[in-house]
Structure 1
Amino acid sequence: MVFSRTLSRASRNVPCLIQLIHRRFSYILGIETSCDDTGAAVFSASGKLLGDSLSSQTSTSVMLGGVLPPVAAELHKKHIESVVLDAVSKSNIRLQDLSHVGVTVKPGMSLSLKVGVDFAKTLATQLRIPIIPIDHMEAHALTALHTDPKLEFPYVILLISGGHGLLGIVQGVEDYILLGTALDASPGDVLDKLSRRLRLNRLGDERLKNVAGGKALEMVARIYNGNHRRFDLPLPRSQSKDCDFSFTGIHVFTEHLIDKLESSTSGSGHTLAMQDIADICASIQFAMARLICRRVQRAVEYCILQGDGDDNVSDVKITRPTALVVSGGVGANLVIRAGLTEVANHYNMRFVSPPPHLCTDNGVMIAWNGYLLQKEKSPRITEDISSVDFTPRSTFGLDFRESVKQANISIEPIKLPDSVFQS
């Protein structure tokens, strides 16, 4: 393998003393393979992004009707070497100049995680550098600190993607509080399934040909001027006084709606009219945005209540958040962003979100998290390479969901103007 030969030459040609001299200047490599994107990036000791590379499997996943773990793992194996070498090359450094390698170890698909972890362990062993195990969700939660230098702790974080949905507080690089989570399906999973049900990639519009489900749904609603008020979709658990999400109700209701409309449509294949499809897409976004915004609103109210009072849970101090941050693939949805901006404005908070390409999975967020942990001298950093392993599941900080429920907070939902849903 080319990479093995490259590592071998690096190990032979650079004496240990010279390696140590070079590594006084930290260069942190980050590797991401938790799902179906192979990413790598390098940050300097000053926190500057030097180079990054990404191999996306979106077109393959669209063709196969979803992410298939064995296929995703094989594509990671095929591309990880070139992605890492490309990121290092763009950084204008050599492999042997790396001082740390950060890698996603949780959560994610086991087969995909294994590829990245095995690769990182081989690299760290050959270069004799420590590994920084990275939590994928924490990396998403910290990305905005890279893209917005003015962002300060603490802030409310909303992570919404194809695999996850959670709401919490980020109080520090290794200090998180969980306020709510998706109880059933993730928002991205629901959007992808409804996109496939509507056959959006088969509408004959070239603009949708290789676009992932959730993004295709957003595009159809916008391009074809979907009416978001035509179909009244449910808001599951909207009366529950907690911050947990449920998106399955939206999924099931919309499936039945599509079945009903198709059965009443004459013609071959019971194909829906384009306007019907666009209106359904817009209505789905409308329901999701309203549901998410209400949960976020209660989370902010909880933080304010805890920050203004003396009834903080246990020894953990919660103060009023400085900003509302959203990330994850669904966080790139412009309609949902616009709704969340209204919520942030209502509470005189900043709304912050990384650019869309950094909301989806990437190597930049892993390398950035590695940089922050290295800067904090985190005990997570280890030279015991064999001890590093992956796990498909993880918890996000301290679980305060029951505390939110016990606070029994009633909210008056913020009215979102129609302009929000015409983005």
Structure 2
Amino acid sequence: MTILTLESTCDETAAAVISDSGAVLGQCIATQETLHERFGGVVPEVAARAHLERILPVIDTAIVKSGVSVDDLSAIAVADRPGLAGSLLVGVVAAKTLAVAWQKPLVSINHLHAHLYACQMASEEAVYPSIGLVVSGGHTSLYHCTSPLDLEYLGGTIDDAAGEAFDKVGAMLDLGFPGGPAVSKLAQQGNPKAHDFPRSMIGAPDYRFSFSGLKTAVRYTIAPPPAKTVSASHLDQQAKADICASFQAAVVAVLVRKSTRAVKEYKTSHLIVGGGVAANPELRRQLQAAADKHGFRLVIAPPELCTDNAAMGAIALEKVRRGEYAELDLDITAGLQRGY
């Protein structure tokens, strides 16, 4: 069994050919970083148009790299949720068209569940049942995962996602786009105790997150009232580094505390972590320290599988084995943060 997987939920156009064992036979990712850089964030219409231009060349490249013929494909899989509406539509329409043209069954993929499945792809042992943390630019969510396809949503952000807050802080400090990696890098030079930023909802009994207040606290640190605009031009490199380190420490503290509590409450032995922010070195370090202290196994997706990609679409193999196929009237489910 060999499947073609497509990913176009946000600003990465990706395709991969996956074998029955989960091995990636060929893949291609077309990034849009330079397209959105001048806007300081992802523009949905620009993203959708870029997907439209790139989806067929990306698919062709992945298939050619794999050495697999179209006749050898067993199914076409595509992420249909959650994400930007226009971006999702491009991938889903492409997948449905190929399914009809090539007479292959169609499989739908939940993008967030796939981020967690990347942990299974990187592990030689089973990682389910587990608590799953997805932390990225659009999502901060916790799940109780009894299998790759059976996940109970425990809670998520009620406003900004963690990665979104990273990017916005990077923008306020003039660190370029995307801001998250730049904040993480500069934080290594800073003092995480320089600023006492809020750890919103860290002690709340549920599994909701909130990062908008933290982002606002950073804004007022950079430009206190009555300033109506934000400019970091008066800050030297060390001052910026201290803000980055203190901000990062606040985000990481909340993520680690709530994830650890979920592992204890649901009595699981594993915590699995996926999404772009999962590549953050300080988050990985603090989660490992918590795992060592509390006696659970931590599995984090490797950096190359943290950002959006089609390889994690290997989760579709689980659906094929169950015989769970999508109909050709498959529609998208847009949205960024809550309830998935």
Alignment partner, residue 137 of structure 2 = 162
Give runs of aligned pairs for residues 37-52 of structure 1, distance below 5 A: 37-52=12-27
- Deviation, structure 1 residue 262: 11
Matched position secondary structure for 2:266: helix
1:110-153 residue CA offsets vs partner (Å, 9 max, x unmatched): 00000001111111100011100111111112111111121331
Write the letter of the residue equivalent to 2:38. M
Q: Does 2:182 match 1:219?
A: no
Query: What is the count of residue pairs matched by the alignment?
Result: 335
TM-score (norm 2): 0.94
Q: Quick one: which of 266, 289, 301 aligns to 2:252?
A: 289
Q: Quick one: which of 237, 243, 249 aligns to 2:201?
A: 237
Q: Does 2:5 match 1:30?
A: yes
Q: Relative to structure 1, is the Cα distance of residues 359 and 340 closer, same or farther in structure 2, using a 3 angstrom cutoff?
A: same
Write the letter of the residue equivalent to 1:256. Y
Write the letter of the residue equivalent to 1:215. P
8 A Cα contact 1:151 1:323, kept in partner: no
Distance across 2 between alignment mates of 1:237 and 1:248: 11
Distance across 2 between alignment mates of 1:151 and 1:59: 38
8 A Cα contact 1:262 1:270, kept in partner: no
Q: Does 2:333 match 1:391?
A: yes
Matched position secondary structure for 2:92: helix
Distance across 2 between alignment mates of 1:227 and 1:43: 44
Alignment partner, residue 133 of structure 1 = 108
- Deviation, structure 1 residue 101: 0.4
Q: Relative to structure 1, is the Cα distance of residues 214 and 91 closer, same or farther in structure 2, using a 3 angstrom cutoff?
A: same
Unaligned runs of 5+ in 2: none
Matched position secondary structure for 1:200: coil
Q: Which stretch shifts more, 106-115 or 89-98?
A: 89-98
Q: Does 2:208 match 1:256?
A: no
Q: Which stretch shifts more, 156-165 or 59-68?
A: 59-68
Distance across 1 between alignment mates of 2:132 and 2:161: 16
- Deviation, structure 1 residue 269: 8.1
| RMSD between superposed Cα atoms in Å | 1.8
1:188-245 residue CA offsets vs partner (Å, 9 max, x unmatched): 11111111011012xxxxxxxxx521111011122xx111111111111223122211
Please state which structure has a larger fraction of its residues in helix: 1
Q: Does 2:46 match 1:71?
A: yes
Alignment partner, residue 301 of structure 2 = 354
Distance across 2 between alignment mates of 1:193 and 1:100: 39
TM-score (norm 1): 0.76
8 A Cα contact 1:261 1:272, kept in partner: no
Distance across 1 between alignment mates of 2:152 and 2:99: 32
Write the letter of the residue equivalent to 1:354. A
Distance across 1 between alignment mates of 2:311 and 2:22: 11
8 A Cα contact 2:157 2:209, kept in partner: yes
Aligned residues: percent identity? 35
Matched position secondary structure for 1:77: helix
8 A Cα contact 2:3 2:77, kept in partner: yes
Distance across 2 between alignment mates of 1:134 and 1:145: 16
Distance across 2 between alignment mates of 1:123 and 1:235: 47
1:238-259 residue CA offsets vs partner (Å, 9 max, x unmatched): 2312221111111111101110
Q: Relative to structure 1, is the Cα distance of residues 375 and 149 closer, same or farther in structure 2, using a 3 angstrom cutoff?
A: farther
Alignment partner, residue 123 of structure 2 = 148
- Deviation, structure 1 residue 160: 0.6
Distance across 2 between alignment mates of 1:269 and 1:231: 16
Matched position secondary structure for 1:260: coil
Write the letter of the residue equivalent to 2:142. L
Q: Does 2:248 match 1:302?
A: no
Q: Relative to structure 1, is the Cα distance of residues 163 and 77 closer, same or farther in structure 2, using a 3 angstrom cutoff?
A: same
Distance across 2 between alignment mates of 1:159 and 1:113: 19
8 A Cα contact 1:173 1:373, kept in partner: no
Write the letter of the residue equivalent to 1:234. P
8 A Cα contact 2:80 2:108, kept in partner: yes
Q: Does 2:217 match 1:271?
A: no
8 A Cα contact 1:157 1:170, kept in partner: yes
Distance across 2 between alignment mates of 1:395 and 1:193: 23
Q: Which stretch shifts more, 52-61 or 279-288?
A: 52-61
Alignment partner, residue 280 of structure 2 = 333
Q: Does 2:59 match 1:59?
A: no
1:361-412 residue CA offsets vs partner (Å, 9 max, x unmatched): 101011x01112112322xx13x42x2111104743xxxxxxxxxxxxxxxx
